[in-house]
A and B are shown apart, each in its own frame.
Chain A
Amino acid sequence: SQKIEQNSEALNIQEGKTATLTCNYTNYSPAYLQWYRQDPGRGPVFLLLIRENEKEKRKERLKVTFDTTLKQSLFHITASQPADSATYLCALDPYSSASKIIFGSGTRLSIRP
């Protein structure tokens, strides 16, 4: 069956360092991979989308890589700040953003001052 794995344990990072979150999947061939941020009591907020033929995507302090051979995506936040503390969800999309996507369970990130 299709499976998406994200680090279930919380990640604690010192402010200013780079935070790296991992998303692994099996039995799936997504055309796109998305990353979302979720704060307590709120719905997820879309951050970035990367296509299967893209190796890397950047947006401000965020960088996402997508390795379809390893079936893995890495999500980096450089120069991390306490305001980056949240749960980050990866989501696999088989076709496009206009079809249902499957979410991982998320990794909670804490940035300490």
Chain B
Amino acid sequence: GAGVSQSPSNKVTEKGKDVELRCDPISGHTALYWYRQSLGQGLEFLIYFQGNSAPDKSGLPSDRFSAERTGGSVSTLTIQRTQQEDSAVYLCASSSSKVGDGYTFGSGTRLTVV
């Protein structure tokens, strides 16, 4: 596609429920990243996929968080047993291997846990 697409754009869920957030990166981009942004805060790295390599999961805050990337394209971030502190905007980005291109971000999924 023309850009990075994320769905849903907004998600309200009850505490304790599981949620799945989807990211559709730019076609041909080999790298895909998940970040989250709390209100008025910077971007917190969560996980990074590069081609067929094992993902860098060093930013995942707990074992309730997991992500997969199928066929080197679409990625799903799953949060199990959601907590109120999980409320944030979850941003996905993709990039090519060409230095100088930077990341292309989606508009994010705003998750609210009530």
Contacts and interface: CB of A to CB of B under 8 A. Distances in A.
Interface in B66-106: 91, 93, 95-106
B101 A46 contact: yes
B33 A44 contact: no
Contacts, number: 67
Secondary structure of the A contact surface, majority rule: loop
Nearest to B6: A43
Interface SS of B by simple majority: loop
Nearest to B40: A105
Nearest to A102: B45
Nearest to B56: A100
A44 B37 CA distance: 11
A97 B101 contact: yes
Interface residues of A, number: 24
8 tightest Cβ-Cβ pairs between the two chains A and B? A46-B102, A43-B105, A105-B42, A103-B43, A100-B48, A98-B97, A96-B99, A103-B42
Interface of B: 4, 30-31, 33, 35, 41-43, 45, 48, 50, 56, 59, 91, 93, 95-108
